[in-house]
Amino acid sequence: MKASRAARWAHWQERLILVLLFASASVSVVTTLAIAISLGVEAIGFFREVPLIRFLTEREWTPLFAIKKFGILPLVCGTFLIAGIAMVLAVPMGVLIATYLAEYASERTRRLLKPVIEVLAGIPSVLYGYFALLFVTPLLQKFIPSLSGFNALSPGIVLAFMVLPTIASLSEDIIYAVPQSIREASLALGATKLQTTFRAVLPAAGSGIIAACLLGFSRAIGETMLVTIAAGQIPNLTLNPLEPVETMTAYIVQVSLGDVPHGSLEYRTIFAVGLTLFLITLIFNLFGLFLRERFIRTFQRFA
């Protein structure tokens, strides 16, 4: 009968759609697996020629030179040096701004300032690199004459402002989410607003703010164009921010722009470096997400 045929067709259409939608959702899981596999396959090829011990402990990184050294330490050090400088600036500023916006600012002030901070997050990183190389470095050189044209200090400072919106925005959400009952209890016991903020609200938000900082740090480590433009392309195992350094991300760009043949050892180095970068950011991201979950769960009782 006609009605039954239409009903059966609708039923199969429903099933088909469900399969398609399920497939779309699975793309995210497939993507993570694809990242692991695509990095892993080439990295394994790399580690068959360069032992892991050498990769982790050798103190020079010169895969593109005649005498090849494969120690990742200079790249990791460069990455962490610049990210470290950025966090030293971004964490205090970000938490201060977040606390002010969440606890003290008027609605009008908050509505005015939040978009301004968001704009900072939307600026392309090539523009940040341009700014660091052609404005910040010359400016710093006036005060520090020994500052090299490519250095770690300039991109570190600029990176701080790149990461600041992430830290400030996430922290502000966290502080806002601290239940009102905690503030009321503190005030009822006779504390002032400042004491309430710093001795009740912020400690309660603690794990959430740490999560925000971890996610910000992960973002700082993964930043590419800013450090490629302003920090230099010479691997350098140093803690001196006045010298040029190369980060893991800048190295990948350097090789990608060059004429390295596919399947060669030099080509595989970008996957080994990429895998290292991926694992480091994964650890920070997962830990940050875990702390955030714990914060939400802790205060679900008070909601």
Partner 1 sequence: MEVVTAPKVEPEAVRRRRREVLMEWLFLVSAWVALLLTISVLLAILGKLFADGLTRINWQFLTSFPSRRPEEAGIFSAWVGTLYVMFLTAAVALPLGIGAAIYLEEFASRNWFTRLVELNINNLAGIPAIIYGLLGLQVFVRWFRMGESVLAGACTLAIMSLPVIIVASREALRAVPVSIREAALALGATRWQTVRDHVLPLAIPGILTGTILALSRAIGEAAPLVTIGALTFVAFLPKSPLDPFTVLPIQAYNWVSRPQPEFHRNAAAALIVLLALLLLMNSIAIYLRNRYQQRWRI
Site residues for partner 1, 108-127, by CB under 8 A, read 113, 116-117, 119-120, 122-127
Measure the CA–CA gap between 289 and 214, rounded to whole angstroms: 9
Radius of gyration of the chain (CA): 24
Q: Which is nearer to partner 1, 40 or 51 (CB)?
A: 40
Select from 8, 9, 13, 264 the one that contacts partner 1 (CB under 8 A): 13
Measure the CA–CA gap between 190 and 125, rounded to whole angstroms: 48
146 DSSP 8-state letter: T
Query: What count of Cα atoms within 13 Å lies in the side-chain half-sphere of residue 274?
Result: 21
Q: Which is nearer to partner 1, 81 or 157 (CB)?
A: 157
Residue 203 has which token pair?
A: 């400690």
If you search the block for the tokens 């205060």, which residue do you land on?
Answer: 299
Q: Least distance (Å) from partner 1 to the CB of residue 110?
A: 11
Q: Which is nearer to partner 1, 181 or 264 (CB)?
A: 264
Site residues for partner 1, 164-223, by CB under 8 A, read 164, 192-195, 215, 218-219, 221-223
Q: Which is nearer to partner 1, 62 or 224 (CB)?
A: 224
Helix, coil or strand: residue 40: helix
Backbone phi and psi for residue 61, each to the nearest 5 degrees, phi listed first: -125, 100
Measure the CA–CA gap between 38 and 295, rounded to whole angstroms: 34
Site residues for partner 1, 32-61, by CB under 8 A, read 32, 34-35, 38-39, 41-42
Select from 3, 25, 53, 66 the one that contacts partner 1 (CB under 8 A): 25
Q: Least distance (Å) from partner 1 to the CB of residue 58?
A: 23
Residue 123 has which token pair?
A: 């600026």
Q: Is residue 80 close enough to count as binding partner 1 by CB under 8 A?
A: no
Q: Which is nearer to partner 1, 62 or 195 (CB)?
A: 195
Q: Which is nearer to partner 1, 35 or 73 (CB)?
A: 35
Candidate segments 62-70, 128-136, 140-148, 204-212, binder of partner 1 by CB under 8 A: 128-136
Q: For residue 161, give Cα distances in angstroms to 84, 198, 209, 219, 273.
A: 13, 24, 17, 12, 26
Measure the CA–CA gap between 87 and 150, rounded to whole angstroms: 20
Site residues for partner 1, 234-293, by CB under 8 A, read 249, 252-253, 256-257, 262, 270-271, 274, 277-278, 281-282, 285-286, 288-289
